[in-house]
Chain A
Amino acid sequence: MNCQEFDKLIVDYIEGDLASNQNKAVEDHLQHCNKCKIAFENYNEIILNTNRLPNFRCPDTVIEKVYSSIPAKKRMIPKLTEIYWNISGSLSWKIRYAVAAAAVVLTVLIFYPSGEKPGYDQQIYTAEEIEKAKRDVEIAFGYLRYSALKAESAVETHVIKEPLNKSFKITINNILKPLFNGG
């Protein structure tokens, strides 16, 4: 190995990336060539000294400035309430309230799927009060069924602007079925 060949292999030799025969050739050359030996010692020393240069800590003020420049959270998906108000313009007030009621009922269904009810005080009702409540519930379900259909078509027209996926419709119907059947 001559000095030029040695020079080309220094980086890999330091990293330990040479094949064993090349490694041995480099070491032999270092033993026999005093010029390269000194050069190699200096080369190593400059690496060591550069390694020892301090790594500074980025000042906190920089990070504070960065965080203060970041805009507040942007919502990429419109809120459900925004969708509701966008489509509600085409609905009558009865439908609007019914859609809102449907949203509440669905929320309850989602969060209490096992039929668990939110806590309320036990109370005894008269037969008359129960009959009136049943009638009110039936009327409400009527609105609900109607509003579900209206909401479906409103979503198709104003939000997704194409017919709703069939499987999605089936899912909605399955969720609402127990209600329509008085379940």
Chain B
Amino acid sequence: MKKIRYKKAVIDYKDIIYNQAFYFTGNKEDAEDITQEVLLRLWHHFNNIKRTSLKAWIMKVTRNLCIDYSRRKKEVFLMAVNDNDRESTIWENLPDERSNPENEVINIDLKEHIAKTIKRLPEKIGNIVIMRDIQDLKYEQIAEVMELPLNSVKVYLHRGRKLLLKNLSHYYKNYKSDFNLE
């Protein structure tokens, strides 16, 4: 019985975990490792997690592992001479689930820039932007995962969007640098 319920949870949440990890780390291999680790932890704690808080539990563990991975990566990055080659390959060989004519409007260059900018955002802001603007999670769920009041989630999200806008200003013709950027 546990196995059946667990497998259903895996089907429901594997892509959410993978995308959260992918956009946070900007790396396919790390996203795979994190997804695997989260799902294994889920198995070991499955009987102790309330069904109603399953999603929040999963996202919390994903967030913590993402932080661990990025810390480890930072250490490796400091030792590496040049990591630019790896950086430029994050969009290669990945199947695009949402590919349809409408999405062709955004060119790959802008997509890559947005993704890279999200990755560089401060941890809390980055996670919130991914959860809300990419994964479409509800504010209440984000607040539970981040252990923040609802209002703070909105403040961080607003700040994140403005930071994205600032960093991608060259894509926007009428961008005004004096827009209230805190």
Contact = CB atoms under 8 A, between A and B. Distances in A.
The judgment on whether A and B are partners is: yes
Interface of A: 3-4, 7, 10-12, 15, 35, 38-39, 41-43, 45-47, 49-59, 61-63, 65-66, 69-70, 73
Given A11-B157, A62-B14, A63-B14, A53 B40 contact: no
B17 A58 contact: yes
The DSSP consensus for interface residues of chain B is helix
Interface string B111-148: 10011001000000000010001111001000000000
Contacts of B175: 38, 42
A7 B180 contact: yes
A7 to B, nearest CB: 4
Contact of B158 (A11, A56, A59): A11
Nearest to B172: A42
Interface string B149-171: 00000100110011011001000
A62 to B, nearest CB: 5
B19 interface: yes
A51 to B, nearest CB: 6
B161 A66 contact: no
Contact of A46 (B139, B165, B178): B165
B134 A51 contact: yes
29 contacts: A7-B180, A12-B154, A39-B176, A41-B174, A42-B174, A42-B179, A43-B161, A46-B164, A49-B110, A49-B111, A50-B133, A50-B134, A50-B164, A52-B105, A52-B106, A53-B23, A53-B134, A54-B103, A56-B18, A56-B94, A56-B97, A58-B14, A61-B32, A63-B39, A66-B10, A66-B36, A66-B39, A70-B43, A73-B3
